[in-house]
Amino acid sequence: MKLRLDALIELGFYGLSWPRLKQEEEKISVFLERFHEKEQGFLQLPKVKSALLSSLKLAEKLRGRFEDIVVLGIGGSALGVTCLRDALKGPFWNFKKEGPRLFVLDNLDTVGEVEELLNLDKTLFVVITKSGTTPETMAQYHYFKEKVSKENFIFITDPKEGELRKIGASYDIPMLDIPQNVGGRFSVLTAVGLFPAALLGIDLESLMKGAEDMAHSFQAKDMELNLPFQFATVQYLLDWERGIPMTVMMPYSSRLHTLADWYRQLLAESIGKEGRGLTPITALGVTDQHSQLQLYNEGPTDKLFCFIEVLKQSSPMIPTIENPKLNYLSGHRFDELMATELKGTRQAISEYKKPNLTLEIPEVNAYELGQLFLFFECSIAFLGEYYRINAFDQPGVELSKKLTRQLLS
């Protein structure tokens, strides 16, 4: 994976110079020390093999028994799973006949619609909630509990306490752990993401290897080697020195569209505190060239554009087109057309003096996705130190949960 800042640096006054970025390098050691004092566990996940092994073991035991997998979870218990499926199996995986379908019931208004698609006796329900009191998830669990036997459930929850842990123990339901020092939005490389991915046959070893390699980059004291610090520094300086408080995450790959959704929660819930923060926006190339680019080019200069470019994609060939106004398309693959449109969009945004950078990966595979997950998580750790806030709590979410309980009661 490469982080390309050349378009940002070439903007001059409207961007950031490399010498200005290098001035921040001395903060790396201080920020890392503060991060380690917080004892957050997500950085250790690629090295600790227990979650990987337990997920693989349980998935192997269940393999072939179920036609469908339904994840009951929301937020961090859902977005990472969806991203793993879409990125590594494709956004249309559920239409194929190659393995179990995977549905993620992260919102409440599709419960009945998804149920109609299922043979309930052949469906495995994976219930994910660390506390065991998440209202959406527990409501769904109790709904399906009345329709299938306990053999159709797996719980992923806190290793020691919580309501779901108690229920699992009383009904003898198999359970996997979410480490106590790993928050929900950082949990994609725990059993939360690994177990459903294992059921789909995703290469978890490569996924974790990619994350482990990015963890080494996070620890580097040299700014040129520390990609997460570079990204966080760009976001922070553009906000505080240029008044640019928004980040548009725009992958040019349908398989990575839900990665942008996953990052949206990661950034918003981690950094939006105490009157400060960055606003995440998701876009998809080439789709949103036709729906948002007018605003991006000629609207206010208040956004950083983060393109994700995939160098190797496969797609069919466009046939010969005789129409003289369209024959320039002839003989090109669809992925060539998309790559060219990315170059054109990036150049146009630069000519409009809008700050942008590019995350470049050779292809969408498990290793690169593991790198991307940890890259973004580690960048959040640095942003928390820049803004002097706790990036690992979410007090603004808790009030909504409390009021929901009061209103229903």
Distance CA 336, CA 357 (A): 20
Q: Which two tokens stand for residue 52?
A: 């990987």
Q: Could you give the C-alpha distances from 391 to 28, 30, 36, 251, in angstroms and in order? A: 17, 16, 13, 25
Residues 6+ apart with CB under 8 A from 222: 25
Q: Could you give the C-alpha distances from 152 to 52, 70, 147, 197, 405, in angstroms and in order? A: 22, 10, 10, 18, 28
Q: ∠ at Cα 103 (102, 107), nearest 5°?
A: 160
Contact of 157 with 130, CB cutoff 8 Å: yes
Token pair 């409009």 in the structure block, residue: 352
Q: What strands, in cross-sheet order, belong to the sheet with 246-251?
A: 2-4, 356-361, 303-310, 246-251, 279-282
Residues 27, 145, 332, 401: which is the catalytic one? 401
354 among known catalytic residues: no
Instruction: Return the DSSP state at 2.
Output: E
Closest to 199 measured CA to CA, from 71, 36, 111, 12 = 71
Residues 6+ apart with CB under 8 A from 28: 220, 221, 223, 226, 229
Q: List, in sequence order, the alpha helices (H) in 172-226.
A: 191-199, 204-219
Residues 61, 160, 290, 325: which is the catalytic one? 290
401 among known catalytic residues: yes
Residues 269, 368, 377, 385: which is the catalytic one? 269
332 among known catalytic residues: no
Q: ∠ at Cα 227 (225, 229), nearest 5°?
A: 105
Q: Which two tokens stand for residue 189?
A: 């490389």
Distance CA 86, CA 202 (A): 11
User: Do the bridges between strand 356-361 and strand 2-4 make them parallel or antiparallel, or are there none, so unpaired?
Assistant: antiparallel
Contact of 256 with 364, CB cutoff 8 Å: yes
Residues known to be catalytic: 269, 290, 401
